[in-house]
Amino acid sequence: MILPCIDIMGGKVVQLVQGRDKALEGDAPLEMLARFSAFPQIQVIDLDAAIGSGANDDIVELLCAHATCRVGGGVRSADRARKLIEQGAHRVIVGTAAFTPALAEIAAAIGRERILVALDSKGGRIVVKGWREKTEFTAEEVLHRFEPYCSGFLCTYVDKEGMMQGTDLAWFRRLRAATDREITAAGGITTVEEIRELQRLGIHAALGMAVYTGKLSLTELARMQ
């Protein structure tokens, strides 16, 4: 499955480089959804909620009302996870909270099958809190720890996120070998060949900058579903 990404900051659809520098703004949220209508699911990340500077709940709810969305950003409590489900989220992405007792509470509140755990890697280590704090763990080390609480993983190769320089397929191969749970790859995916290799591995691809800049054709991607 190929998932176009809609990242929201300050009420606008944006694309960031490595989670920090805004590179571009997209169309209005519903216009982006219209562009992505050929794809069965959309990945929505509330960047303001992720870094704790606010939330874009009205836009999230609007998007979820018009498409099947997996939603992340600031999901650090069972209450927040429940609210996203009530707003129409199909699945909820949990990042920072996965490393706290809150993960078990979130799983109890909305069900393991609704949860994707985000494992974001930079410099070989998992980063949390909007990619601003590095942990001592590698993604390969923690996959099994989280399997009881989720139905899959969103794994982002932050080193190349938004840079359009390609991703690290070897890393994704190691992750695929380490778990039988669903994996969605993100971070630097730039070519059709990379997507085909991920598909061969049984890994979904979440796409951002390469789609927004036109490097990857939405028409061609739709044919690859």
User: Which positions are annotated as active-site residues?
Assistant: 7, 120
Nearest residue to 154 via CA among 190, 179, 135: 179
CA distance 107 to 79: 11
CA 4 centroid distance within chain:
10
Environment class of 123 (CB within 10 Å of its CB; exposed 0-12, middle 13-18, buried 19+): exposed
101 and 144 in contact (C-beta within 8 Å)?
Answer: no
35's CB contacts (< 8 A; 6+ apart) are 4, 27, 218
